[in-house]
Amino acid sequence: MIKLSDHFDYKRLLRFTAPSIGMLIFMSIYSVVDGFFVSNFVGTIPFAAINFVMPALMLMNFIGFLFGTGGGALIAKTIGEGNRVKANQIFSMLVYLSFFLGILFAIFGIIYIGEVAKILGATGEFLEQSITYGQIALLALPMSILQCEFQCLASTAEKPKLGFYVTVATGLTNIFLDALFIITFGWGIEGAAIATAVSEAIGGILPLIYFSRENSSLLRLTKTKFDGRALIQTCSNGISELLSSISMSIIGMLYNWQLLKYAGSDGVAAFGILIYAAFIFEAIFIGYSMGVSPIISFNYGAKNYSELKNVFKKSLFLIGAFAVIMFISAESLARPIAKIFVESDAKLLEMTVHAFRICSFAFLIEGFTMFISSFFTALNNGFISALISGLRTLVFEVGAVLIFPIIWGLDGVWFSMVGAEIMSVILSVIMLLIYRRRYNY
């Protein structure tokens, strides 16, 4: 078994992060399959409705990412300092608190999701389908939050494969239930929502059972008490992921608003396909950053700066290699991927392929920004991580998606993704240069 205290060469680094990468890739693939069933067996409008409401649903999951990444950095640092009892108390507090907040957010979301859809411009059947899917999916929100949280914390517990196995179980459940509810039972968009809710519940329950019992990991759920200082540190560490989660949801809503204006529901459908495909490619960057973070936090806590520098340099090389592979793959697979969803609609197919080939240039850049932001989170410097994430989305991307379409029309929506990433990576490099002496990487 690979331990956080080990020396990491490229092979060991890839072995340790592979489960996290695989977990994110598989999660992305089953999301694509989910969209495949709806687009091919329910219809274009329901498919567009799901993609329209999805950013709002993702917004509700921000607690899982906040506690998972921010808490993971604090817990790994605490373990590195030699205090496992405290690490387990922090872990337990975050899990219990996130579940309680999930219940509150689910109630709030079910009540107000219709109003949000109306504000964003949904009307008629499109509005009804959006509300139907959203309200059913929100029933599983507490478990969905735990699923997101445990995905991040599995690597911290030195059990990265656990997150992968749970994701596989969740994904296979979703695929099976999609086929059963949509094709066999003919339940339409309601069947898709129920399948998603059930699979997310499984994704939260399985790791909850594992960590509630005696296990061979570094973490276990125990009796705990509220620790305000640890919660503040967790939120400080994870503020970038919080901002990223919130802002990406806001950005998604903004893209949908612009696309409804410039291309109607076809534009929203094309964007949904683009996001499904992008999830698969970006999963490698996100999964690697998630998997390597506990190693960085542990060595920072243990003051092992030579190993910290070693992992940092190797990570930059691996991110660069992933970026080149992903760009080439995206350009080559744009049409085959689009055909999975809209082969029968020639106009929508061409719009999607064109958009994908423009946006694929972002894959050359965005992996570095994602890793560097995650790197500062792992160093327990949530402010710089938040600065990178916040400016990347709430400033650079919002500005681009509002301004570029005025200049280039519909293409401006797609160009905005690339423009925002160029500005973000410049900022990230500047932050690395400023803080290189402080953290000795």
**What pLDDT does 435 receive?**
93
How far, in Å, CA of 80 to CA of 153, rounded?
Answer: 15
- Label each residue of the chain as H, E or C: CCCCCCCCCHHHHHHHHHHHHHHHHHHHHHHHHHHHHHHHHCCHHHHHHHHHHHHHHHHCCHHHHHHHHHHHHHHHHHHHCCCHHHHHHHHHHHHHHHHHHHHHHHHHHHHHHHHHHHHCCCCHHHHHHHHHHHHHHHCCHHHHHHHHHHHHHHHHCCCHHHHHHHHHHHHHHHHHHHHHHHHHCCCHHHHHHHHHHHHHHHHHHHHHHHHHCCCCCCCCCCCCCCCHHHHHHHHHHCHHHHHHHHHHHHHHHHHHHHHHHHHHHHHHHHHHHHHHHHHHHHHHHHHHHHHHHHHHHHHHHCCCHHHHHHHHHHHHHHHHHHHHHHHHHHHHHHHHHHHHHHCCCHHHHHHHHHHHHHHHHHHHCHHHHHHHHHHHHHCCCHHHHHHHHHHHHHHHHHHHHHHHHHHHCHHHHHHHHHHHHHHHHHHHHHHHHHHHHHHCC
**What pLDDT does 98 receive?**
96
Confidence class of residue 128 from pLDDT cuts 50, 70 and 90?
A: very high
What proportion of the chain, given as a percentage, has pLDDT over 90? 50
How far, in Å, CA of 378 to CA of 240, rounded?
Answer: 11
Q: What is the pTM of this model?
A: 0.71
Of 30, 272, 40, 28, residue with least CA distance to 175: 30
How confident is the model over 108-129, as a mean pLDDT? 87
Give residues with Cβ within 8 angstroms of 165, minimum separation 6: none
Confidence class of residue 97 from pLDDT cuts 50, 70 and 90?
A: very high
Confidence class of residue 121 from pLDDT cuts 50, 70 and 90?
A: confident
How far, in Å, CA of 360 to CA of 331, rounded?
Answer: 7
How confident is the model over 256-271, as a mean pLDDT? 82
Query: Would you list the domain boundaries of the chain?
Result: 10-439
Confidence class of residue 318 from pLDDT cuts 50, 70 and 90?
A: very high
Residue 221 to residues 44, 76, 160, 210, 252: CA-CA distances in angstroms? 44, 16, 17, 9, 35
Query: What average pLDDT does the structure give for the chain?
Result: 89
Confidence class of residue 345 from pLDDT cuts 50, 70 and 90?
A: confident
How confident is the model over 185-212, as a mean pLDDT? 94
Burial class (CB in 10 A: 0-12, 13-18, 19+), 345: middle
Higher pLDDT, 151 or 192: 192
Of 384, 365, 366, residue with least CA distance to 435: 384
Confidence class of residue 415 from pLDDT cuts 50, 70 and 90?
A: very high
Of 340, 281, 22, 35, residue with least CA distance to 174: 35
**What pLDDT does 344 receive?**
72
Give residues with Cβ within 8 angstroms of 438, minimum separation 6: none
pLDDT digits (tens, 9 = 90+) for 32-70: 777 788 888 988 788 878 878 887 887 788 888 889 888
**What pLDDT does 240 receive?**
67
How far, in Å, CA of 428 to CA of 415, rounded?
Answer: 20
**What is the residue type of 133?**
Y
**What pLDDT does 295 receive?**
94
Residue 404 to residues 89, 421, 423: CA-CA distances in angstroms? 48, 14, 14
End-to-end alpha-carbon separation of the chain, Å? Answer: 26
How confident is the model over 163-171, as a mean pLDDT? 87
Residue 372 to residues 20, 190, 212, 300, 435: CA-CA distances in angstroms? 17, 40, 33, 15, 12
Are residues 279 and 291 in contact, defined by beta-carbon separation less than 8 angstroms?
A: no
**What pLDDT does 47 receive?**
82
For residue 111, give both structure tokens.
Answer: 């009540």
Higher pLDDT, 161 or 419: 419
pLDDT digits (tens, 9 = 90+) for 364-414: 999 999 999 999 989 988 889 888 988 888 889 889 999 999 999 889 999
What proportion of the chain, given as a percentage, has pLDDT over 70? 98
Q: Which residue has the tokens 């003051």?
A: 303
pLDDT digits (tens, 9 = 90+) for 7-24: 999 999 999 998 888 878
Over its C-alpha atoms, the chain yields an Rg (Å, rounded) of 21
Across 39-48, 87-96, 298-307, 400-409, the highest mean pLDDT is recorded for: 87-96
pLDDT digits (tens, 9 = 90+) for 213-237: 999 999 999 999 999 999 998 988 8
**What pLDDT does 241 receive?**
67
Above 90 in pLDDT, residue 206?
A: yes
**What pLDDT does 30 receive?**
67
**What pLDDT does 292 receive?**
94
